[in-house]
Structure 1
Amino acid sequence: MVISGNIKIMNNMNKRKVGYAFMAFSKGTESKEGNAVKRYTGVAPVFVLAVNPNKAELEKLYNTQLENNPEYLGEVEVGEDKHKVQNVRLDFIVKTDAEKCGGIEFTTKVAFFIRKEYRYNRDQTKVQVIDKYGRTAWVTVEQAKAHEIPVYKNGPANIDKDYRPAYHGEEELTNFIKAYLNIPNVMKYVNNTWVMVDKPEDCEARLESIAEYFKGNFKELRDVIALQPNNKVKVLFGVRTTDDNKQYQAVYNQMFLKNNTTDYSKLDADLQERKAAGAYPTTEFTVGDLKEYDVESTDLSNSGAAGDMPFPAGDTAGGTPWDFGK
């Protein structure tokens, strides 16, 4: 009798334990539909809010919480020998001017990748150089040493003798800054001839502290942006679709327009030329006013087949460790 009584007691305890475990669930929260993430295509004037911000600054800019600090320095493998080169990512956090974009306002980034090596052509016979006005040209190694002006089929290169070798990615970065600061062309057309403007010092546009970027020092870029804190630059946005059908906000960083530019024909011609060469095969751009992206209208059949690249075909850009708005 004693044994059977103990069994009954244990059974009752087990029943109570089972009931208690079930009630260990919290109340939970009301289930709601998730907010759809919007993507946009088209040309938009944007403000520059920050350059390579830290974790706290990013959280404030995007009104979110991040687990890790942003990493801007890294390495990439380049060349047939797969040698490693130090690489820096430069993130310009931008925000659309809603008043000029039909009320569309969003924050994203324009990213550039700079390699710690000069940019040569494929057979290493020529190097890209950049002068103090931000103009680039290709010269032979011998010409570069002597600071000669190369002569092409259509005449001498439009570049000053005061040039230096350009880093991989420097040309695109410089063009972005020139457009943002609204720096004028150093040449003007007078009596069927191109001549230097009266005040060429107003046209200077060359970065001089790029070596510091690879040490994590971005003061030069932040100082440059601070020269005109209220300026805007026009950027072409698009939507990139991955193999697993995920979509991300994209930026065409091969050409940027000054804020007062209303003719987008050169931008469209540049985009179509690069797409014909195989760039941006999975990214859809619309050269026109900024608008919300319509998924059903996507047609990438004529987009090329070489992979999205932030630099011209033949260059290696590196990857982006993180992205916002995924």
Structure 2
Amino acid sequence: MAAPMSLALFSVIFLQISSSYEQVPAFAEGSSDEGASQDTQIRENGVGRERQRVSYEHGSFAAEEMRPALQPHDWRPPSQPSRRKLLQYGGIMPYSPLNVVYNGKTCILFRARKLAIRYRNHTLVDLTPRVFGPDAIVDTKGSFCSKDKATLNIRFGDVEELRGLSIRLQMSNTFYESAGQNWFTLDSVHIHYNWTHEATFNATDVYAPSTNSYHCQFVSSLQKYDTLLVPCSNTDNAANWHITFTDFQIQAFNVHSNKFSSASDCATFFTPAILMGLITSLILLLVLAYALHMVVHLKHIDRYEEHKTTVYFPRSTEAESTDKNVQ
């Protein structure tokens, strides 16, 4: 009698174990089941916990209910960064562009990550907060726009030892028949200081289609930044000045919705590094072509040697008579 009782007990235990195992595969295979559906509920502040519910043909259970059993002791969900911090990455400019309004319409957009000047051996002066800072009050009196000309005049007032400091950018819009469109050019950059003194830089290398904005990493009078700003003459006061715009972008024509159009960048495709790479690649290709030519030529010689037949030269009668006399 003990045997039937033990057999019955074993059967009950086996059924319980098998029934418990039937539920586990359902949870493991729920991601591939076609009948599965997921609903995510997030609190209004955007940082709430996610609650997923998975439904199946034979029943349903909340994934949130299984989470405490699978999490280790003292486990805490990782903190999620706020939306504001995420927007600070990705190369976003720290300052909004400077808008110049003329006749009730925005006609010039100007932006730079940094604007710095230096007079002779004086200390470098950073003018960025005075132009693009959140509390900056920019005086653009003297700026104007027309169909063919535009002037951006930024007045700083007294800055350290400089009196009446102002920077003026003069631009023009010209139609070129060869290109079939208008191009705008930054003709010159002027620095006015001490009321009566002026330094003038030529900037004719700064240009772009008039429908686009112009962007360059550095627009500077320094040689290490390609010297896009050149003193107009050797006797000009510009030789005593250094001016650098970092991450420079400007648009003076065809401004719409107070936003920059797509930028035409100053970085050309044929930089010195790219040119050296192209020349090196060309030399390697020539060497490879010559090597292949020599290999093909050698194979051609081998084939000629293999197919070469023995040449028979008939002997003359004099040679035959000589051989007979010798014998």
Q: Settle same-fold status: TM greater than 0.5.
A: no
What TM-score range do you get, normalising by the shorter chain? under 0.3
Q: From the two aligned structures, give the one with the greater helix fraction.
A: 2
Asked which structure has the greater RCO (Cα within 8 Å, sep 6+), the reply is 1
TM-score by length of 1: 0.22
TM-score by length of 2: 0.22
Larger Rg: 2
